[in-house]
Amino acid sequence: MIWVITAMLWYHDVDKPKMTDYMIKSFDTKFECIEYTWENKVDMIDELLDMHRTLDGNELKTFAFYCENRFVELEEV
């Protein structure tokens, strides 16, 4: 299991939030994920706004970062 940062994005005039994963880095523990988010929030926000400021012409209204666990299957060597 790994931990990744997910951004939940809310746009004006869009019914449901959009989810996007911040896949530049993954983490072994939830604590590492939260700590990274806390220490790198400005850079993450800049990147998020560059990539997701609009969706189909709708402006981003607000967003939230959170850490989420994922199961990955490892290939045998």
Which residue stretches of the chain have pLDDT < 70?
74-77
Task: Write out the DSSP string of 19-67.
Answer: EEEEEEEEESSHHHHHHHHHHTHHHHHHHHHHHHSEETTEEEEEEEEEE
- Supply the pLDDT for residue 63: 96
- Supply the pLDDT for residue 19: 94
Show me where the domains of the chain are located.
2-70
Amino acid making up residue 30:
K
